Amino acid sequence: MATGQLFSRTTQALFYNYKQLPIQRMLDFDFLCGRELPSVAGIINPGAEGFQKLFFGQEEIAIPVHSTVEAACAAHPTADVFINFASFRSAAASSMAALKQPTVRVVAIIAEGVPESDTKQLIAYARANNKVVIGPATVGGIQAGAFKIGDTAGTIDNIVACKLYRPGSVGFVSKSGGMSNELYNTIARVTDGIYEGIAIGGDVFPGSTLSDHVLRFNNIPQVKMIVVLGELGGRDEYSLVEALKQGKVNKPVVAWVSGTCARLFKSEVQFGHAGAKSGGEMESAQAKNQALKDAGAAVPTSYEAFETAIKETFEKLVEEGENIIC
């Protein structure tokens, strides 16, 4: 797993399976942030070659289209992020093809429902070769003012409202992609904004975990505090608990595990994501929130109080004289 930043203002990506809207949103974000080069270097559309016309600001540009992963990587050796919009049927094979390319460092898998056995193989290969997998079932991630994956953070209006066109001081990681957009807005209201945000995906076996990214954020000097949004099901949050107890994280962490309402139901409930299903008391939202609190994280009493906890932690940093962007 990477130990620092995944992206920068010069990061370029290869986009698998042509989807006009998410690609155009990436290019619009690039232009808004004042990037000199578009973040999409090439498109991989199996069986097709040529160029695809898109807009970079007011200028119409032609992005090369390649028929194979290998051809695209050879043509664009500086593009080290692979954004995979393939369906769950082919996402694993195309992601593995990308991971095997020496130029690719990060693979983001958008598809939900990728077979768990295939995902485990991708994770094992990535970890053995010091590469990063984000997803499956992820909306992606964003480094504010620098680079974003696909539909992350939604429209330009939302990006402006959330101050994502320039870096803030908060590292944010979430299991949920939809809730990431909500938290970008929340964090922008009460802090100077996001520095980097990642949605790890809601599947049972994510390619990278909450704690993987928290430990990364801890090594990034520009990140002054960390916000974590987990959910019931699985035990990923406990690896973060152990990291906090062992003193591996020396920046303030504000955390909330959603799904506390599950106890109101008489039978076990599936909360949307494949991984959002409690397999016992330890996997309940209440147990994980208590464990995070006991380990030293700031954990509110409810999701409604999450914003206040983030605000108070940020204001304390400002009072202590941290070099905050705002």
Q: Kindly list the catalytic residues.
A: 273
Distances (CA, A) of 33 to 113, 238, 302, 324: 33, 37, 35, 20
Q: Decide: 143 and 195 in contact? Cβ < 8 Å.
A: yes
148's CB contacts (< 8 A; 6+ apart) are 25, 26, 29, 39, 140, 141, 142, 164
Residue 193 to residue 222: CA distance in whole angstroms: 12
Cβ atoms within 10 Å, residue 255: 28
Q: Quick one: which H or E segment has residue 183?
A: helix 177-190
* Distance from the Cα of residue 265 to its chain's centroid: 31
Closest CA to 166 of 198, 192, 202, 127: 192
86's CB contacts (< 8 A; 6+ apart) are 16, 17, 94, 95, 111
Distances (CA, A) of 171 to 59, 123, 175, 268, 274: 33, 23, 14, 33, 25
